[in-house]
Amino acid sequence: AQSVAQPEDQVNVAEGNPLTVKCTYSVSGNPYLFWYVQYPNRGLQFLLKYITGDNLVKGSYGFEAEFNKSQTSFHLKKPSALVSDSALYFCAVRERGYGQNFVFGPGTRLSVLP
Amino acid sequence: DSGVTQTPKHLITATGQRVTLRCSPRSGDLSVYWYQQSLDQGLQFLIQYYNGEERAKGNILERFSAQQFPDLHSELNLSSLELGDSALYFCASSVFEGGTGNTIYFGEGSWLTVV
């Protein structure tokens, strides 16, 4: 069965510093991997996804994520954090094949301190 | 704006009652998903429809049901409501169904409070 872990409930980072939000997954085969962000009282917004090809994926708002097959990880990164990046971040995985569905991680709350 | 529309945005109802949440997917999307988000359970997948047919079922209670209509909008029916059903209910949509790398896009959610 698919599963997604986000080992940190909360990540704090100073504005201007690089940020990393961690995600590891467990699936059979090669998955599709996604990151979503949720601002307070809003729906989840798509940030980026890994389908195939280059392991470094670039997405919205300057975010990027690196797919590491050997470590089954898909960490979200940004070189310079903004206060406005403070939100709840979800990693999601979807197995390839008919009938497979999204599985979301528990979420990581990112706080960027001014 | 994701293009997924959910109504109502907020709903307060009493225990034992029944409510219906409505979702209009993005234009051109055939697949609709329902998720429940609560503080203690995180984001839980409930059910998925593709072009009117049920495709996948998650942790959906027997008191809950859903359907997707010919015009592709979907409704989630919650009955015999309990206090624990208070949550944010999301609808999401995608062009295709499972197994492809297509992205799902979320609506803003319907806040349900059961008192």
Q: Min CA distance, A27 vs chain B (Å)?
A: 13
Question: Would you call A30 an interface residue with chain B, using a CB distance cutoff of 8 Å?
Answer: no
* Contact in structure between B91 and B106 (CB atoms under 8 Å): yes
Integer Cα distance of B84 and B105 in angstroms: 26
Name the helix (H) or strand (E) containing B92: strand B87-94
3-state class (DSSP) for residue A113: strand
> Nearest Cβ partner of B42 from A96, A100, A106?
A106
pLDDT digits (tens, 9 = 90+) for B4-45: 999 999 999 999 999 999 999 999 999 999 999 987 778 899
Integer Cα distance of B9 and B17 in angstroms: 18
CA dihedral B105, A64, A112, B41 (to 10 degrees): 40
- All residues of chain B having their beta carbon less than 8 Å from the beta carbon of residue A49 are 101, 103
pLDDT digits (tens, 9 = 90+) for B81-98: 999 999 999 999 998 765
Mean pLDDT, each 10-residue run in order, chain A (114 residues): 91 97 90 93 92 91 94 97 96 78 91 96
